[in-house]
Amino acid sequence: MTSDFARLGEVVAAAEHAPCVYQVAVQHPLGSIPLADVIRKADEAFEKIIDMATGYQVSAGPVTAQAAYPTEQIEFTGTTVALNRFFLDKGWSLGLPVIPPSPEAVQEVLMGTGRKPDDVVGQVPPRMGTLTVELVAVNAVMAGCRPEFMPVLLAALEALLDPSVNWRGSLATTATSQTVVIVNGPIVKELGIASEQGAAGKGHHINGAIGYAINLIAFNVGGSRPPYVDKSTLGSPADYVCWVFGENEDKLPAGWEPLHVDRGFQKSDSVITVLSSYPPVANLDHWSTAPEEHLRWWSHMVSPMLGPTRGMEQNPIVALAPEHAELLGASGWSKADFARALWQNVRIPLGTWPAGGQERVKAAFSSIGPLSPESMVPLVLKPEQFLIVLAGGAGKQSHYFPPFFDSLPASRLVTTQAGRRGDHS
């Protein structure tokens, strides 16, 4: 482990209930340095490695964790500004203003869910902090959520805690990864979740408050804090407020189903779908008048974010602007036609994949025919892997979200009063 990542290693080891001192830190970096320097670092670390391999003794006794419920209450006297400074100093704030989570405010937000406050939603990575419904409400208040936002927030958190989403990786990585939350179904209009012009941008209270609450929970409960645990090389504003938008289902071309129906839900269900992704790349095709022309824009503008060959099995988000969708639908293209065309046309040279993985890529696409490093291969194994969703309002700006490594989408039903029927990963 290199020195810059040693603290992250300790946190993850503690979260896995493993002894925290089983690693040897080597001066960062190890990658992209001359071989002679690698050898020197190995020589310098060798004795410590031998000591750790033979001399370290596991300490006995369990680690006692602080009870997660009820949440500790503190008394504070002062202005809201002073309280914000206090929270920042204590490490309970992302650096944006928070609303004081008074017991009264938390109780009010808890009225938005039928779940008990001591219900455990899950363990938030990377430090696997226990998240109770009460803690969700505390962070929801801080983010400015109203009681009626709770079902959406809880569904999003349950989806994020699905191991297939790999939220742990996204919260600790050096990559500029982000959480994307897509909302479908009647709840979009019932709550006024932004799904049209600027749906993922500013000025939409519920979208912003939910996105802020999710990231506060990742920070306060999961411990995803820069610089030692959240190792983002640069980070992004999405670390403050993650992506939350509703699908613009009204603008779906005739015969096109919304995302949640593609994923096996009924149209009348309200569903949250989440994914960890890289920042999106924009397709700003303002000129095409036929689908075949439009496809060329996707071919040229998609960023593959290549890494482990498991990327072939992942699910990029294709957030279509309604006007681009209209161009496709008016020409009689179904959603499946578009997905197939993306798969057929958005290709990269086999040689673009890291050398160590090219044999696996070759085997995966052997049905195409004999492949050389110059052969053009699809980004994903099957067209159905694309998560096609209508996003935004007027304007010819679609977006492609490459999935973060090993993140697969998870969907959860939004439970308001009735019990949930089934969730899909």
Partner 1 sequence: MSGETFLFAPRPRSLEGKTVMLRWNGKHNADHFLNRIAGLLTGRVKGVRIVRNWQVALETRETSSSPKLSLEFAGKLAAYRPDIVIGAIGD
283: which 2 tokens?
Answer: 């397709």
Q: Where are the alpha helices (DSSP H) in 173-221?
A: 187-191, 205-220
275-to-169, 174, 246, 331, 410 alpha-carbon distances in Å: 12, 17, 14, 31, 7
18 touches partner 1 by CB under 8 A: yes
80 binds partner 1 (CB under 8 A): no
Q: How far apart are CA 103 and CA 399, in angstroms?
A: 41
| Pairwise CA distance, residues 223 & 212, whole Å | 15
- Judged by CB under 8 A, the number of residues near partner 1 is 51
Site string for partner 1, 173-192 (x = CB under 8 A): xx------------------
Residue 308 binds to partner 1 (criterion: CB under 8 A):
yes
Residue closer to partner 1 (CB basis): 100 or 279: 279
| Nearest residue (CB) to partner 1, 247 versus 406 | 406
The piece of 23-31, 101-109, 144-152, 364-372 that touches partner 1 (CB under 8 A) is 23-31
Under rule CB under 8 A, residue 30 binds partner 1: yes
Q: Which is nearer to partner 1, 296 or 310 (CB)?
A: 310
**49 scored as a contact of partner 1 (CB under 8 A):** yes
Instruction: Report the residue from 33, 111, 282, 363 that binds partner 1 according to the rule CB under 8 A.
Output: 33
**68 belongs to the binding site for partner 1 (CB under 8 A):** yes
Q: In angstroms, give the least distance from the CB of 30 to partner 1.
A: 5
**Contact track, partner 1, 138-167, x by CB under 8 A:** -------------------------xx-x-
> Please, which residues bridge with residue 274 across strands?
181, 410
Q: Does 116 interact with partner 1 (rule: CB under 8 A)?
A: no
Q: How far is the CB of 18 from partner 1 (least distance, A)?
A: 7
- Cβ–Cβ < 8 Å for 403, 277: yes
122 dihedral zone (left: phi>0; alpha: psi -120 to 50; beta)? left
Residue from the set 21, 82, 111, 120 that interacts with partner 1 by CB under 8 A: 120
Q: Are 345 and 377 in contact (CB under 8 A)?
A: no
Angle between helices 335-345 and 291-301 (to 10 degrees): 50
Among 61, 237, 356, 370, binds partner 1 (CB under 8 A): 356
Given a contact cutoff of 8 angstroms between Cβ atoms, the answer to whether 315 and 335 are in contact is no
Q: Judge if the upstream peptide bond of residue 70 is cis by omega within 30 degrees of 0.
A: yes
405: left (phi over 0), alpha (psi -120 to 50) or beta: beta
Tell me which of 87, 353, 400, 405 binds partner 1, using CB under 8 A: 405
Helical residues (DSSP H) of 251-321, grouped into ranges: 259-262, 291-301
Residues lying near partner 1 in the complex (CB under 8 A)? 1-2, 4-5, 17-19, 26, 28-33, 35, 38-39, 41-43, 45-46, 49-50, 53-58, 65, 68, 120, 123, 125, 130, 163-164, 166, 168-170, 172-174, 307-308, 310, 356, 405-406
